[in-house]
Chains A and B, each alone.
Chain A
Amino acid sequence: MRALTWHGKHNVQVDTVPDPQIVNPRDAIIKITATAICGSDLHLYDSMIPGMSNGDILGHEFMGIVEEVGPRSTLKVGQKVVVPFVIACGQCFHCGKQQYSACDNSNPADKSDASEIAYGYPVAGLYGYSHLTGGYAGGQAEYARLPYSDMGPIVVPDGIEDEKVLFLSDIFPTGWMAAENAMIEPGDTVAIWGCGPVGLFAIKSAILMGAARVIAIDHLPRRLELAKKNGAEVLNYHEVKVREALMEMTAGIGPDACIDAVGMEAHGFAPDNIIDAVKQETKLGTDRQHVLRETIMACRKGGRVSVPGVYGGIGDKLPIGAFMQKGLTIKTGQTHVQKYLPQLLELILEGKVDTTDLISHRLPLEQAADGYRNFHDHPDEWTKVVLKPH
């Protein structure tokens, strides 16, 4: 089959690779009908995530038609499914608590030593996201093997357009969990850093959850425009000082909840970020946590900070005093996708949320490398890329 593969920093290409096979009883194979490039794929493209290997297939936002099933899969050939980017067994302690991205079992035993060393405990398997999270092949390909296929892939009704449900794989549930982690109460103002796909879904979700006011922060005009269309007030951090603007807009109390939908590769020319960038470049540090610092500083006393943005390593200079003295709550994590799928599919089917307005480009899989380059180099025009493998 054809698949988008990683060969080093800023070097991806579409290659011919072997077809995946059923190897375990709960496996299924799907023929992929639509897949997307995620903002977090750009962390791989930039070589910011350790544990990548030359030739790895990328992609963790995908859906398709069930082609073949193992004896213990509950899926049926011909069904259309959207696949959660998190692989979960459904039977360990963590899955029992619906903490699917903490699954104890989905990361193969020979792959989980690294994350146990880095994080204290092994983390769950993810599709196409380095050998730290299992070394599974991704879905920017013609076919994919789904381990534990009875636990996660959600069957979608016939006739619904792929693009309407594709983002159930990651960014819709991720934006939704980000808003849930912000513990929104009536009357709340929620500030969201980053108007990429996750930030946009966090805006949509916060409004559905009843936020009185959403303030979105970015520097790219088209992304800010999308945020505005979704009901957010917007701040361009190239034009205003964000913290001062937030203070002014909230009459000095500050946002009740702050969401970092940016993560480890923050942009901008704040002094702390320049130091982090130099450290990243010289391998003295791994993560640029400028936005995380901003959220902690900007959040009101007793407020909540929610972090869907991806971090992978070690950071420093966190305003730990502000965090403690203001009594903040921080919630974060890879998304427990499986937990949210039924309710979010329902919202889509009821027409309560527009899941397609962020798509700017649709490309055949063969042009995926162009998609990566443009999504990376021209983020203002390229807000979301959907790939069609067939």
Chain B
Amino acid sequence: MSEHPMSTDAEVESTAFTDRDRVEGEHEAASVRAVLINRPRQELYAFWRDFRNLPTFMENVKSVEVMESGRSSWIIAGPAGADFELVSEITEERPGEYIAWRSLEESDIDHEGWIEFRDNAFGRGTEVRVFISYDPPAGPVGKVVAKVLQREPRIQARRELRRFKQLMETGEIPTSKAPDAAPRADRHL
């Protein structure tokens, strides 16, 4: 468990973040984030639960292969062009509400996490909360490298959750990548 205080986007006081047990992971670093998505809970759950959909909004996930008995195999783009393989197993599942998982021993990254979908009590859509806990690949040095390359898992998780919201609410993921989406001049002068 990280000794750093956790930052969240929660707009209301939430048990998800005040209940310490729920956000204490077994690994060195942890990240938790909440987002309000203006779509029905079942639709969001169903999209996420089909793990093959995840590479559409998780930029560093190259592919997900779904295997038997709640297992899936992930190829993740790591720092400096290296790929990681992660085999994950569902540890708890409540259809429409909650999925928890953890990595199996053969994985390159030790990792566990959960995602929760709740109806917003005030009719504002679905509250989605994600928790991940992990040992940074290749220890502290790996974390620095990952940060420089913007592949630090915590930053990545924040951006992936944003892209998930964008995709589910608007049907696409906004981009301003040069040159096609946003042309720009070559740097000179």
Q: Is B184 an interface residue (CB 8 A)?
A: yes
Q: Are B183 and A1 in contact (CB under 8 A)?
A: yes
- A sample of 23 cross-chain residue pairs with beta-carbon separation below 8 angstroms, ordered by A number, consists of A3-B185, A5-B184, A5-B185, A13-B189, A17-B183, A17-B185, A20-B181, A23-B181, A55-B187, A57-B184, A57-B185, A92-B169, A105-B166, A105-B174, A108-B173, A108-B174, A108-B175, A110-B159, A125-B176, A134-B174, A136-B176, A145-B182, A148-B170
Which residues does chain B contribute within 8 Å of A293, judged by CB atoms? none
Q: Rank and list the top 4 A-B pairs by shortest CB-CB distance, nearest first.
A: A55-B185, A109-B162, A21-B180, A18-B179
User: Range of interface residues on chain B?
Assistant: 20 to 34
Q: Are B185 and A93 in contact (CB under 8 A)?
A: no
Which residues does chain B contribute within 8 Å of A19, judged by CB atoms? 183
Q: Are B183 and A3 in contact (CB under 8 A)?
A: yes
Within 8 Å by CB of B165, from A8, A20, A105, A147, lies: A105
Q: 8 Å CB contacts to B: which residues of A244-285?
A: none
Within 8 Å by CB of A17, from B38, B150, B158, B184, lies: B184
Q: Is A72 an interface residue (CB 8 A)?
A: yes
Q: Are B172 and A25 in contact (CB under 8 A)?
A: yes
- 1/0 contact string of B146-184 vs chain A (CB within 8 Å): 000010000100111011011001111111111111111
Q: Is A113 an interface residue (CB 8 A)?
A: yes
Q: A55-B184, A109-B159 are in contact. Are A91 and B38 (CB under 8 A)?
A: yes
Q: 8 Å CB contacts to B: which residues of A139-162?
A: 141, 145, 147-148
Q: Is A60 an interface residue (CB 8 A)?
A: no
Residue of B nearest to A96 (CB): B38
Q: Are B171 and A18 in contact (CB under 8 A)?
A: no
Q: Is B125 an interface residue (CB 8 A)?
A: yes
Which residues does chain B contribute within 8 Å of A54, judged by CB atoms? 185, 187-189
Q: Are B173 and A135 in contact (CB under 8 A)?
A: no
Which residues does chain A contribute within 8 Å of B178, judged by CB atoms? 18
Q: Are A106 and B174 in contact (CB under 8 A)?
A: yes
Q: How far is the CA of A23 from the CA of B179 in the complex (A)?
A: 11
Q: How far is the CA of A11 from the CA of B160 in the complex (A)?
A: 36
Q: Is B10 an interface residue (CB 8 A)?
A: no
Residue of A nearest to B189 (CB): A7
Q: Is B77 an interface residue (CB 8 A)?
A: no
Q: How far is the CA of A3 from the CA of B170 in the complex (A)?
A: 29
Q: Is A112 an interface residue (CB 8 A)?
A: yes
Q: How far is the CA of A42 from the CA of B79 in the complex (A)?
A: 39
Which residues does chain A contribute within 8 Å of B180, judged by CB atoms? 18, 20-21, 23
Q: A93-B125, A113-B158 are in contact. Are A134 and B176 (CB under 8 A)?
A: yes
Most buried by A among B36, B124, B170, B172: B170
Q: Is B186 an interface residue (CB 8 A)?
A: yes
Most buried by A among B174, B177, B189: B174
Known: A110-B159, A137-B182; 13 extra A-B contacts, CB below 8 A, are A15-B186, A17-B184, A20-B182, A21-B180, A24-B173, A24-B181, A55-B184, A55-B187, A92-B169, A93-B38, A93-B124, A105-B170, A109-B160
Q: 8 Å CB contacts to B: which residues of A12-38?
A: 13, 15, 17-21, 23-26
Q: Are B36 and A18 in contact (CB under 8 A)?
A: no
Residue of A nearest to B36 (CB): A93
Most buried by B among A20, A92, A105: A105
Q: How far is the CA of A145 from the CA of B179 in the complex (A)?
A: 11
Q: How far is the CA of A145 from the CA of B178 in the complex (A)?
A: 12
Residue of B nearest to A11 (CB): B189
Q: 8 Å CB contacts to B: which residues of A73-125?
A: 87, 89-93, 96, 104-113, 122, 125
